[in-house]
Amino acid sequence: MTWRKMLDSNVFFPRNLSQWKHPLHSMMKAPPRRAREQSLLKGLRKKPLEKHPPRMASRWRRNPPRRGKPPPTSRRIRPRNRRLREENRMRISPIWPAILCLLLWLPTVSLEAADGFILRAATIHTGVRVIEDGAIVVRDGKVVEAGRWEDLAPSLATSDLPLIHWPDAYVTPGWVAASSNLVAPHPSPESIHADFRAADGYDRYGDHRRLLETGVTTAHLSPGEHRLLSGQGAVVKLVGAADQRILRVSADLSLSLTDAVDGARPLLKIPFPASSDVAITAPTPQRPRSRIGRLLALSEALERSNQDPAIHGGLAEAWSSGLPVRVAASKASEILAAISFLRGKDRDGYIVGGTEIGQVAAAVAAAGIPLVLRIQPVGGDVGFTDREPVEGLTDWPQLGTDTLLALAPPKDDLRQLRWALVQAAPHMERPDDAIALVTQHPARILGVEDRVGSLEAGADADLVIWNEGPWKVTAHPLEVIADGAVAWQPQTEPTTVIRAETIWLSPENRIDGGEVLIEQGKIAAVGRRVPHPPHSRVIDAGSGSFLVPGFIDSYGHLGLRGDSGSSGTGDRLYRLIGASDEPEHRVARSGVTSQLLTPMRLQRGAATAVVVKTSGRTRSQRVSQPVSVLLLEASGHPDEALGGISRLMDQGKKYLESWKKYEKSLAEWEKKKAAGEKIEQKEDEDEEEVVEEEGPDPLTGIWELTISGGPIPEAETAKISIKLDGLEFEGRVVDPIPPFPVRVVGTLDGTTIEATIEIEGDVLPGVPKINAELEGEDSLVGTISLLQFSVDVVGTRTSKEAKSFKVERRKKRDEDGRPNAPRINLALEPVRKVLEGQIPVVVTPTGLEVAAKVIDFFSEKKIPLTLRLGQEMRLYRDLLAEKSVSVILPAESSFTIQRQSFAPGNFLSRSGINVAFQSQASDGARSLQQQAMQAVERGMSADAALHALTGGAAQALGAADRVGAIESGLDADLLIWHGHPLEAGSRLQRVFIDGEEVPR
């Protein structure tokens, strides 16, 4: 793999982005699984790679392990005897867990945590301080260091840890919920019982991904607030090894002074076993019965427990242990009672609830007792009452800087904790001050500040990567890490929202302070405010940002690799396209996102061209259609210049008529068949002789595949038997035998292989895809991918079967009377598309009056026309405007004619003629923006030149339905500039092609 070093950080980019691997994927955690499922993962333990590209970290979205049915085992293979069964079992290679568990991410994966990583993000809130462009160093699940990137970068330059860069993310510690409903209140009827432990009701093997999705990694467990003293609370983590999830098994004594504790039913003790000589005593009444008796009942219970340590569930022992007291109090009188009790007993503790805290905030602040403020739910019927319901957060308690304050969600529903933060943030001096209310403050209140709630040195590496500040309504986590390992990632396809100060739509229209939503590589919405799907990446380009469509080079040779040969209408340049390499990356980084790839020379004055993206991992990502434009040349005497073009169009017309005739016959046949009419075959029907060309079958046979890269620690091999039938093929894995049936089906288009891997059972989050290219007679190279994951595959054919050849006569109709389609003529297919209006014609005229002849010829046929003109364009301005002909401007920004300067861009654009820029170069297309600036310097307006780089070029090439504008449904090819791209001092900051950011 080849990597390009970033100049400003210790980060490398792969030339082939499909080889990139997320370093934290080897750190995923899951609940323990059966031994057989774990045995499939043998050999997958691996340290993270040393270098990783920063921007791609956000693109990797692997589903964390989840509980579910185990994958089918090898018993489904049904070996014929015991010995064969044992052999097959031994032959299961590590390739299957490697490909199907890591690459395709089966839900039973459980991997060990790696040594560590370095995380760099736009903003890091450690719980104590805010660090802009900060970094965190993690080793062995602990935070080693946190600080500004520019301060840490020199010491990290030689680090062996992988670097992960989230350039737009907001990172916080894992949230600490000071109150939760993770465990149900204990069912005992006793009003006072200290021996109930909430930790005993916690499922240490539980799957809490739905809560991790909210950013909460640590929570308090309460035995309940339904009894005066319900037991002992605990503090736990929501993810991790079962023996490490409980941070404090006994964190506090849970006391409640709310109305819910009054009127506990009397205790009835039934003797067991039942006996006639043992009387059943009357039920024993329990206190408290009213508000005034709550503290009295508790004080009396403490006194009695000193005399009899066994009563009230060992209350004496629990009280003497010095545990803090957690007091549930909502009303003002209850809060004052809690203060009185804690101060009277000289006991450490804190208050939970605080609905009426506004009335007694001064008393709480004076006492210095921490408060866990529970936000009240909004809505619900209150009936006929004069009392105004308390909803949300109407009054913010001013407790001062010495009193700790934490937030609790409505009804202790952890999924509502972020909503509580959103409510609290406006009351803070700065919105980000609210982060401490769900991180550091609750950790200190619960006595676990040495482990969680902070990202300072020594703390557990529990952190949440947010798409923007968590106090914003549209904020969502992008990733949750616990103890240095990935604990949660979204299962949805990644989406992106770009926010810019100015969004340039056209010379006449722009949006100030707008947003663009990108989904599946397309622009989904544009406006002042667009939808923010959950867990979408948010890029705030900041002040001075200027968002424009990607630039389009209307005529270039990028990807030909110096090939100066000629090409004709039967050739397809798209077959030369594969994964983008360094020359393409250079052009993409300059802002050119698409180019019309043209041959260096045209055969007999005609050829095809294709619009190609300048960055992409596969051909299918870079090319949307095999032929985008028909290129033509016209030169010589005006009366003879169009002779070749006219003949080509006549041939294309006849070819098109044969297809129209076929389509008409097919429609008639389908109509008759649907009506049940008998279709007779004419005996004198003409027949065509078809001779199959001799040659070897390029695919049928046994292929040995070597799979490497991605999360696979070592290269693995497998053998697949493939049978090609026409353009379709089917394959089976023959060695090693997979643990469950695997079928490979796909198509062969020239040298391009596109296939899917079908696996029995619903064990995968999607369908694995194979994209490969045949190289030579018996080799292929490509990738296997699923969602955002991919590995490299290289294959060699070890055996093949000869293809049978025959000469037969091809009937115009089948035996059932169905008409056969005409034979495809590759040389005339582009002309057919032109005549059907599917693609435009780009003509290069040479000679006096030739351009006028070309314009008249194609205007009569109503064929979209674009001309490549030189200085002679000054003679045809009116004709170009009248016929709506687009013009690709010459590379020269001005000409001197008869001692007068002539600027083509300004001359044509002011006349309303659509124009575009061309590079006529390979990676020299980097200078396209410079050409436009020169045109502006020669008088062309900056917006007109920008339109020529984007929408004008797309219109000239017939690609306006895909690229060239910021409109819903178009490809998300976008550039973030600081300032107008064609003004002095502007800087290109970021490039996106099909929604993916191009490494810079």
> Is 950 strand, coil or helix?
coil
CA pair distance 219, 555, nearest whole angstrom = 61
More confident residue, 326 or 818: 326
First-last CA distance in the chain? 18
Reported confidence tier of residue 378, pLDDT bands at 50, 70, 90: confident
- Judge whether residue 881 has pLDDT over 50: yes
Per DSSP, which regions of 800-920 are E strands? 807-811, 841-846, 865-868, 886-888, 895-897, 900-902, 915-916
Q: Using an 8 Å Cβ cutoff, are 519 and 525 in contact?
A: no
Mean pLDDT of 764-782: 80
701-799 shares the fold of 175-379+390-451: no
CATH 2.30.40.10 fits 498-543+966-1000, yes or no: yes
495 to each of 299, 340, 491, 786, how far by Cα in Å?
Answer: 58, 53, 12, 17
Q: Using an 8 Å Cβ cutoff, are 218 and 236 in contact?
A: yes
So what's the pLDDT on residue 949?
97
**Of 174, 167, 178, which Cα lies nearest the Cα of 126?**
174
Backbone angles phi, psi at 211, to 5 degrees: -85, -35
**Of 204, 449, 436, 235, which Cα lies nearest the Cα of 326?**
235
> Is 141 strand, coil or helix?
coil
Please provide the DSSP assignment of 700-750 as one string: -EEEEEEEESTT-SS-EEEEEEEEEETTEEEEEEEESPPSS-EEEEEEEET
So what's the pLDDT on residue 88?
42
Please tell me the pTM assigned to this model: 0.73
Reported confidence tier of residue 761, pLDDT bands at 50, 70, 90: low
Tokens of 137: 């160093």
- Judge whether residue 699 has pLDDT over 60: yes
| CA–centroid distance for 463 within its chain | 19
Q: Is the dihedral of CA 937, 942, 945, 949 positive or negative?
A: positive
Mean pLDDT of 45-73: 36
The count of other CB atoms within 10 Å of the CB of residue 61 is 20
Strands 900-902 and 841-846: unpaired
More confident residue, 394 or 579: 579
CA pair distance 480, 641, nearest whole angstrom = 67
Q: Where are the domains of the chain?
A: 3-71+106-173, 175-379+390-451, 498-543+966-1000, 551-648+829-963, 701-799
More confident residue, 940 or 87: 940
Reported confidence tier of residue 430, pLDDT bands at 50, 70, 90: very high
281 to each of 252, 278, 918, how far by Cα in Å?
Answer: 34, 9, 100
The count of other CB atoms within 10 Å of the CB of residue 122 is 18
For residue range 248-275, list pLDDT tens digits in order.
Answer: 999 999 999 999 988 888 887 877 877 7
- Judge whether residue 454 has pLDDT over 80: yes
CATH 2.30.40 fits 3-71+106-173, yes or no: yes
So what's the pLDDT on residue 347?
93
User: What is the CATH class of 551-648+829-963?
Assistant: alpha beta
Q: Is 333 exposed, middle or buried (0-12, 13-18, 19+ CB in 10 A)?
A: middle
- Judge whether residue 14 has pLDDT over 50: no
Please state which of the ranges 341-345, 453-457, 615-619, 872-876 shows the lowest mean pLDDT. 872-876
So what's the pLDDT on residue 376?
84
Q: Using an 8 Å Cβ cutoff, are 361 and 397 in contact?
A: yes
More confident residue, 404 or 738: 404
- Judge whether residue 962 has pLDDT over 80: yes
Tokens of 61: 């979205």
Reported confidence tier of residue 734, pLDDT bands at 50, 70, 90: confident
More confident residue, 138 or 765: 138
Choices 2.40.160.90, 1.10.3720.10, 3.90.1150.10, 3.30.450.20: CATH for 701-799: 2.40.160.90
Reported confidence tier of residue 765, pLDDT bands at 50, 70, 90: low
Strands 216-221 and 175-177: parallel
| CA–centroid distance for 473 within its chain | 20
SS (H, E, C) 639-656: CCCCHHHHHHHHHHHHHH
Q: Is 710 exposed, middle or buried (0-12, 13-18, 19+ CB in 10 A)?
A: buried
SS (H, E, C) 793-821: EEEEEEECCCCCCCEEEEECECCCCCECC
> In degrees to the nearest 10, what's the CA dihedral of 982, 988, 990, 992?
40
Reported confidence tier of residue 803, pLDDT bands at 50, 70, 90: very low
Mean pLDDT of 776-801: 80
Third-level CATH fold of 175-379+390-451:
TIM Barrel (3.20.20)
Please state which of the ranges 295-309, 345-359, 373-387, 660-674 shows the lowest mean pLDDT. 373-387
For residue range 389-420, list pLDDT tens digits in order.
Answer: 677 776 788 888 889 999 999 999 999 999 99
The count of other CB atoms within 10 Å of the CB of residue 739 is 21
SS (H, E, C) 241-296: CHHHCEEEEEEEEEEECCHHHCCCCCECCCCCCCCCCCCCCCCECCCCCCHHHHHH
CA pair distance 169, 456, nearest whole angstrom = 18
Q: Using an 8 Å Cβ cutoff, are 774 and 786 in contact?
A: no
So what's the pLDDT on residue 818?
84
For residue range 525-557, list pLDDT tens digits in order.
Answer: 999 999 999 999 999 999 999 999 999 999 999
> Is 777 strand, coil or helix?
coil
Reported confidence tier of residue 105, pLDDT bands at 50, 70, 90: very low
> Is 629 strand, coil or helix?
strand
- Say what percent of the chain tops pLDDT 70: 82
For residue range 814-825, list pLDDT tens digits in order.
Answer: 667 788 888 888
CA pair distance 845, 863, nearest whole angstrom = 16
